[in-house]
Amino acid sequence: MQRREFIRIIGATGSSLTLPIILGACGHAGTIGKHKTTPENRSEDIRLRLISYAILAPNAHNKQPWLIKLQSKQGFLLYVDQERLLPETDPQARQIHISQGTFIEHLDIAAKQFGYRLEINYFPQGMYANNVIENKAVAAFRLHRDHTIQPDPLFAHVVARHSNKRIYDDTAIENSILDDLSTMPLTGETQLQLSNRQRDLQTLPGLMSRAMAIEVSNHHRHMETIKMFRFNDEEVKRYRDGFGIGQTGKSGFSKWLIESLFISRNDASQPGSAFIQQSIDLTKQQAGSARAFGWLTTKGNERLTQVVSGRNYARMNLHTHAIGLAIHPMSQILEEYEDMATLKEEFYQYLKVPKSHTLQMLFRIGYAKPVEHTPRRNINALLI
């Protein structure tokens, strides 16, 4: 059936669907585990076994910006994969370093589960500045068998956790749940704030959709996201990175409908494409359905601080999953390019974050059914 013909038929049924409506309003359907790599539990090499859990960590745009150098029997190094950066939307590679931290947290949790203590030596060849990425390891690891090590209960959520980009249900989050979450132990000097105040729930969506409008107003920035957007299952299978419609909760017929009729890589890549306005509208709906917002702030902003923030965010993601909450990072307003500077300053003022501090992660939380997992590449692709 021709594309136009199908649209006409849909129109004739009186549905008159448009993409934002479809994105926002179709029913729930979770298809967990469809694409994500199953941890390679049977690997002989404990390092590979643990790495197969580490790659399931949340990471910016699902770039999977990790390289691993195996050393002596139980040692290995983690590097930033400099072919997998986001120069337009993350020009200082802050989110890329947060994504190193999420990987490390998963690795550490998995090591405990298998009875190992993970010795971590951050930036063993020296830490580099925020305006460069030097060819130096982010961390050197060594595994020590340790029969006294206690498993981390968050391990139970490593495989199932995900970022949930659905429109959330209207069930409020009880204060006691937020109070409990806010006592989650954090590594380093990261501060966690959580809010379900009406004022914040009403104000932040407007600021966040303005941020998305700024992000997509530049063709190169917009294209960086489009490059990582997977428009159909074939692209998912081919690249095994990025994200797509599945993460907004669409599956089955509605997902097929959107992918087949409403969006295509070619259309979305055109300057002025409808996809641009739809991204802004969707951001407003997503943020508008938040039942609480959370943000992680640090006093410093060195590479190590960014990595440690990632460790904390990964724990937050696992912890929310453990108590049945959905979570979704929304980073546009935190980004470091010039066009965002004024709005970012307004945002810092609104949240009363001192200029000397850095907002590392902003996320919404709420209740929603799970979404389809994002894919992961085979870990062989990470080995150097």
Minimum distance, C-beta of residue 146 to ligand FMN, in the bound complex (Å) = 29
HSE, side-chain direction, 13 A CA sphere, residue 66: 34
Minimum distance, C-beta of residue 53 to ligand FMN, in the bound complex (Å) = 12
* Helix (H) or strand (E) run with residue 361 in it: strand 358-366
Structure tokens at 7: 């649209």
Closer to ligand FMN by Cβ: residue 33 or 75: 33
Can you give the C-alpha Rg of the chain in angstroms?
Answer: 21
Interhelix angle 274-288/198-216, rounded to 10 degrees, is 160
* Helix (H) or strand (E) run with residue 4 in it: helix 3-12
Minimum distance, C-beta of residue 355 to ligand FMN, in the bound complex (Å) = 21
What does the alpha-carbon distance between residue 379 and residue 384 come to, in Å, rounded to a whole number?
A: 11
Minimum distance, C-beta of residue 189 to ligand FMN, in the bound complex (Å) = 18
What does the alpha-carbon distance between residue 5 and residue 45 come to, in Å, rounded to a whole number?
A: 55
Minimum distance, C-beta of residue 10 to ligand FMN, in the bound complex (Å) = 28
Minimum distance, C-beta of residue 314 to ligand FMN, in the bound complex (Å) = 8
Closer to ligand FMN by Cβ: residue 104 or 143: 104
What does the alpha-carbon distance between residue 328 and residue 262 come to, in Å, rounded to a whole number?
A: 24
Closer to ligand FMN by Cβ: residue 163 or 190: 163
Closer to ligand FMN by Cβ: residue 251 or 331: 331
Minimum distance, C-beta of residue 56 to ligand FMN, in the bound complex (Å) = 7
Closer to ligand FMN by Cβ: residue 243 or 295: 243
What does the alpha-carbon distance between residue 228 and residue 250 come to, in Å, rounded to a whole number?
A: 18
HSE, side-chain direction, 13 A CA sphere, residue 220: 8
Closer to ligand FMN by Cβ: residue 241 or 259: 241
* Interacting residue ranges for ligand FMN, rule: CB under 6 A: 58-62, 95, 98-99, 102, 162-163, 165, 243, 328-332, 374
Minimum distance, C-beta of residue 190 to ligand FMN, in the bound complex (Å) = 13
Structure tokens at 32: 């967990």
Closer to ligand FMN by Cβ: residue 58 or 143: 58
Give the SS3 label for residue 61: helix
What does the alpha-carbon distance between residue 215 and residue 322 come to, in Å, rounded to a whole number?
A: 33
Amino acid at 60: A
Closer to ligand FMN by Cβ: residue 102 or 273: 102
3-state secondary structure 77-134: EEEECCCCCCCCCCCCCHHHHHHHHHHHHHHHHHHHHCCEEEEEEECCCCCCCCCCCC
Minimum distance, C-beta of residue 98 to ligand FMN, in the bound complex (Å) = 4
How many other C-beta atoms can be found within 10 angstroms of the C-beta atom of residue 267?
12
DSSP one-letter string for 293-315: EEEEEES---HHHHHHHHHHHHH
Residue identified by tokens 């749940």 is 177
Closer to ligand FMN by Cβ: residue 61 or 222: 61
